């Protein structure tokens, strides 16, 4: 096995070492200081050598360690460590080893007009002596001796230095006369906000840095300086002029080991909260360590100053993200930003499942955030443990408003995410028509600079015209108290001379129909609409279509809908045989009247979908026989049938007489 030695001083060197360790490849890493050793990821395959070496010491070390022809030397030192790179090059040639250079990209894109460039620290020292105001050096402790030799005592007295919190760095500051009060010993990464805070704290007017690329926080320094009015001074990177110098780190790994690097990816679905003021500390940390950040542009833009080295992609759909990851193996730590809380009415659920399906080896985790409902209630000083929470976001059409209005009508507190001000206005119209005293607590663009919280009555909210993201807390001081088993009595329906499925039969039929939340139900032979309206009244999420061929009955059904205020019923005039193919396939079908064509109706419906629950009422012997033949012909095994004979007591003069109704046979089965 070939010997491998990495001269490390950058993130790239640490990353290559981590890859080799993961592949169980033994290697040596040379670092200058104890701090350089501390930040290396520990591994039984890693041997760390601490201390600065000149050319002769490098040659001696390689010789004593048995390095020879075709063994590997990797130069991953800092781009400004020009002398170290030259010594490594000579030592590798002396030992006959293969040499690879891993260096980070140069990147002053977008800032060149705002920067003063210098070839070396001595040139900057001349500017420093001619300047006024405090100076901050962020070039590391190695440049301090030359700077201190070339500036006046007055300039040195207004110079602050930001260094790593390592003993070696502190010793260099002390040896060169830097007072303790002017030493800022901190370990990065540094966000734009941290940089700006330091500028304010120490009244900095000029900053010196190196062309250190994204890994060195160059962009964050430039943005902070521009915002704070601090002049920027940069020592240009020596030697390497190409935009991307040296070997690609993954290609170096593959050439060293002879195997392909397959990254172990980590995907974190991060809740971005309502805005920068509500994001968690864990989220900031993960953002700073990410290789790539995905999310809607409106979300990622808010956190750009916290994204240090990551590539940013304006996308949040899992399939789009996967298409990027499939061709970018350098992306190992991935953050997908979702507004609010990803566990709360978020696209994160589908994304989580899709990522897990795509690659079982990828670790997918969810980091919770602050949801708009908790934020709004906190701002209002109200609890939400006793509230009903829902969302009509992205649910266009009047049905969504009707369903939401039904929840508000039945509950004291209802919290809802909406798509727009139009959703709020539609709900408000429903309550304004009723003369309701429901109040609308409307949170607009919560957590942002243009946040607005408005309290309105239903009448006022009809004309609400807010913009952006809207969350509403509805307070209903007098919610409807409905019986647990809520049935409609016969006397609530307008009847005229249209036949109606009577109360007892209707209730038993609906129970046997087994309607579930969100079902689509057909009522064939609507009559007065009693069955359709009773079903629809049980749950506003149920969609009921009643089909009736007689015009007078159709008009009566519409009058009953209006009279009872039940909105989730659609009335279709026509023959069931002719209209069924034009409708969405149902989950349940109630047949109250068929004109003797039950089999034709079932054949049309079952051709489109199986597993439908059917309930039908039979009064005549012929209908009972027809249904019995259908059950036998189709081999239905779960059929149930019950015959109910109801006698209603009616007052006749001074007596109460039993008035018998026709016995009805109720059939139910799944087909």
Place of tokens 């993954």: 250
Percent of the chain with pLDDT over 90: 48
Average pLDDT rounded to a whole number, residues 324-332? 82
In-domain check, residue 319: yes
CATH number at residue 9: 3.40.50.720
Is the pLDDT reported for residue 375 higher than 90? yes
Tell which phi-psi region holds residue 137, choosing left (phi > 0), alpha (psi between -120 and 50) or beta: beta
- pLDDT value, residue 104: 56
Contact 531, 592 (CB under 8 A): yes
- The Cα–Cα gap between 440 and 466 comes to 13
- pLDDT value, residue 109: 44
Average pLDDT rounded to a whole number, residues 202-207? 93
Residue-wise pLDDT tens digits, 222-265: 888 888 889 888 887 665 443 334 447 777 888 888 887 777 88
Average pLDDT rounded to a whole number, residues 197-207? 93
Task: Say which residues have a Cβ less than 8 Å from residue 160's Cβ, sequence separation at least 6.
Answer: 134, 135, 136, 137, 182, 183, 184, 202, 204
Do 117 and 83 reside in the same domain of the chain?
no
- The Cα–Cα gap between 574 and 598 comes to 16
Contacts by 29-37, CB closer than 8 A, 24 or more apart: 29/5, 30/5, 30/6, 30/61, 32/168, 33/166, 33/168, 33/169, 34/166, 34/167, 34/168, 35/164, 35/165, 35/166, 35/168, 35/169, 36/8, 36/9
Do 129 and 214 reside in the same domain of the chain?
yes
As beta bridge partners, residue 246 has 102
Domain end among 101, 121, 136: 101
Residue-wise pLDDT tens digits, 273-286: 887 778 888 888 88
In-domain check, residue 127: yes
Is residue 218 very low, low, confident or very high in pLDDT (cuts 50, 70, 90)? confident
Do 361 and 402 reside in the same domain of the chain?
no
CATH number at residue 195: 3.40.50
In-domain check, residue 246: no
Percent of the chain with pLDDT over 70: 94
Task: Work out the mean pLDDT of the chain and round it to a whole number.
Answer: 87
Task: Say which residues have a Cβ less than 8 Å from residue 29's Cβ, sequence separation at least 6.
Answer: 5, 6, 8, 13, 17, 40, 46, 47, 48, 49
Is residue 83 very low, low, confident or very high in pLDDT (cuts 50, 70, 90)? confident
In-domain check, residue 383: yes
- pLDDT value, residue 519: 95
Kindly state the tokens that stand for 290.
């990410």
Kindly state the tokens that stand for 442.
């409307």
Do 426 and 501 reside in the same domain of the chain?
no
Is residue 311 very low, low, confident or very high in pLDDT (cuts 50, 70, 90)? confident
As beta bridge partners, residue 414 has 388, 474
Do 529 and 643 reside in the same domain of the chain?
yes
In-domain check, residue 249: no
Average pLDDT rounded to a whole number, residues 402-421? 91
Number of structural domains (the chain) is 5
Is the pLDDT reported for residue 595 higher than 70? yes
Average pLDDT rounded to a whole number, residues 635-653? 87
Is the pLDDT reported for residue 441 higher than 60? yes
Could you give phi then psi for residue 83, rounded to 5 degrees?
Answer: -65, -40
Task: Say which residues have a Cβ less than 8 Å from residue 520's Cβ, sequence separation at least 6.
Answer: 542, 543, 545, 584, 585, 586, 587, 588
Average pLDDT rounded to a whole number, residues 48-76? 91
Is the pLDDT reported for residue 656 higher than 60? yes
**How is residue 661 annotated by DSSP?**
P
- pLDDT value, residue 285: 85
In-domain check, residue 243: no
Residue-wise pLDDT tens digits, 614-635: 999 998 898 999 999 999 999 9
Do 166 and 127 reside in the same domain of the chain?
yes
Domain end among 199, 216, 235: 235
Do 120 and 94 reside in the same domain of the chain?
no
Domain end among 475, 508, 537: 475
Task: Say which residues have a Cβ less than 8 Å from residue 304's Cβ, sequence separation at least 6.
Answer: 312
Widest pairwise Cα distance in the chain? 125
Tell which phi-psi region holds residue 595, choosing left (phi > 0), alpha (psi between -120 and 50) or beta: left
Could you give phi then psi for residue 415, rounded to 5 degrees?
Answer: -110, 135
Kindly state the tokens that stand for 363.
């670790």
Do 496 and 643 reside in the same domain of the chain?
yes
Task: Say which residues have a Cβ less than 8 Å from residue 290's Cβ, sequence separation at least 6.
Answer: 307, 309, 310, 333, 334, 335
- pLDDT value, residue 57: 93
CATH number at residue 456: 3.30.950.10
Number of helical (H) and strand (E) elements in the chain, helices listed first? 25, 30
Contact 442, 417 (CB under 8 A): no
Q: Which domain holds residue 455?
A: 373-475
Predicted model pTM: 0.55
Is the pLDDT reported for residue 433 higher than 50? yes
In-domain check, residue 255: no
Do 494 and 602 reside in the same domain of the chain?
yes
In-domain check, residue 242: no
Is the pLDDT reported for residue 272 higher than 50? yes
Is residue 216 very low, low, confident or very high in pLDDT (cuts 50, 70, 90)? low
Do 309 and 411 reside in the same domain of the chain?
no
Is the pLDDT reported for residue 193 higher than 50? yes
CATH number at residue 509: 3.40.50.150
Contact 173, 179 (CB under 8 A): no
- The Cα–Cα gap between 298 and 305 comes to 14
Residue-wise pLDDT tens digits, 103-117: 655 544 444 445 787
Do 347 and 273 reside in the same domain of the chain?
yes
Residue-wise pLDDT tens digits, 479-529: 987 777 778 888 889 888 888 888 889 999 999 999 999 999 999 999 999
Do 421 and 569 reside in the same domain of the chain?
no
- The Cα–Cα gap between 604 and 48 comes to 77
Is the pLDDT reported for residue 1 higher than 70? no
- CA neighbor of 560 nearest in space, from 579, 576, 574, 544: 544
| Buried b or exposed e, range 79-102, using 16+ CB within 10 angstroms | bbbeebbebbbebbeebebbbbbb
């Amino acid at each position: 096995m070939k010997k491998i030695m990495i001269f490390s001083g950058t993130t790239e060197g640490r990353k290559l070492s981590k890859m080799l360790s993961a592949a169980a490849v033994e290697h040596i890493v040379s670092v200058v200081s104890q701090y350089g050793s501390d930040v290396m990821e520990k591994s039984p395959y890693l041997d760390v050598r601490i201390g600065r070496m000149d050319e002769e010491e490098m040659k001696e070390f390689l010789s004593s360690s048995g390095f020879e022809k075709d063994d590997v030397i990797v130069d991953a030192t800092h781009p400004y460590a020009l002398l170290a790179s030259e010594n490594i090059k000579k030592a590798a040639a002396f030992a006959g080893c293969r040499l690879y250079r891993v260096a980070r990209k140069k990147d002053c894109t977008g800032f060149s007009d705002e920067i003063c460039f210098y070839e070396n620290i001595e040139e900057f020292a001349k500017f420093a002596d001619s300047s006024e105001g405090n100076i901050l050096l962020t070039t590391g402790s190695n440049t301090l001796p030359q700077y201190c030799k070339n500036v006046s005592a007055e300039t040195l007295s207004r110079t602050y230095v930001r260094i790593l919190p390592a003993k070696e760095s502190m010793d260099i500051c002390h040896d060169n006369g830097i007072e303790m009060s002017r030493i800022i010993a901190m370990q990065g990464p540094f966000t734009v906000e941290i940089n700006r805070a330091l500028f304010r704290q120490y009244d900095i007017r000029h900053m010196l840095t190196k062309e250190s690329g994204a890994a060195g926080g160059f962009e964050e320094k430039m943005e902070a300086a521009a915002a704070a009015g601090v002049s920027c001074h940069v020592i240009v990177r020596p030697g390497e002029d190409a935009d991307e110098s040296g070997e690609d780190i993954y290609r170096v790994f593959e050439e060293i080991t002879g195997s392909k690097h397959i990254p172990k990816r980590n995907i974190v679905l991060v809740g971005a909260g309502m805005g920068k003021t509500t994001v968690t500390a864990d989220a900031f940390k993960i953002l700073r360590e990410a290789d790539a950040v995905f999310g809607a542009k409106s979300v990622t833009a808010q956190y750009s100053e916290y994204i240090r080295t990551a590539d940013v992609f304006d996308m949040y759909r899992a399939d789009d993200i996967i298409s990027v990851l499939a061709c970018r193996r350098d992306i190992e730590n991935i953050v997908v930003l979702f507004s609010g809380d990803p566990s709360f009415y978020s696209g994160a659920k589908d994304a989580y499942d899709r990522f897990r399906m795509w690659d079982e080896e990828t670790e997918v985790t969810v980091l919770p955030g602050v949801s708009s409902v908790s934020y709004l209630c906190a701002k209002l000083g109200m609890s939400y443990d006793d509230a009903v929470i829902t969302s009509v976001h992205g649910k266009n059409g009047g049905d969504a408003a009707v369903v939401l209005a039904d929840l508000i009508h039945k509950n004291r507190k209802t919290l809802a995410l909406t798509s727009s001000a139009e959703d709020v206005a539609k709900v408000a119209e429903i309550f304004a028509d009723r003369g309701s005293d429901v109040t609308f607590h409307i949170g607009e663009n919560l957590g942002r600079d243009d946040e607005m919280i408005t309290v309105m009555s239903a009448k006022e909210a009809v004309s609400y015209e807010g913009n952006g993201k809207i969350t509403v807390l509805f307070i209903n001081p007098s919610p409807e108290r409905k019986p647990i088993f809520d049935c409609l009595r016969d006397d609530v329906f307008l009847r005229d001379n249209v036949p109606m499925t009577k109360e007892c039969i209707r209730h038993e039929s609906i129970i046997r129909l087994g309607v579930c939340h969100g079902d689509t139900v057909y009522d064939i032979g609507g009559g007065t609409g009693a069955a359709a309206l009773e079903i629809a009244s049980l749950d506003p999420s149920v969609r009921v279509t009643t089909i009736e061929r007689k015009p007078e009955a159709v008009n009566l059904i519409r009058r009953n809908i209006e009279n009872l205020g039940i909105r989730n019923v659609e009335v279709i005039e026509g023959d069931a045989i002719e209209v069924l193919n034009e409708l969405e396939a149902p989950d349940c079908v109630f047949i109250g009247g068929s004109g003797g064509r039950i089999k034709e109706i079932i054949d049309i419906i079952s051709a489109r979908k199986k597993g439908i629950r059917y309930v039908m009422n039979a009064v005549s012997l012929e209908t009972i026989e027809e249904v019995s033949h259908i059950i036998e012909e189709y081999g239905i095994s779960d059929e149930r049938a019950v015959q109910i004979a109801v006698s209603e007591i009616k007052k006749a003069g001074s007596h109460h007489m039993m008035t018998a109704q026709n016995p009805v046979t109720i059939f139910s089965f799944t087909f």
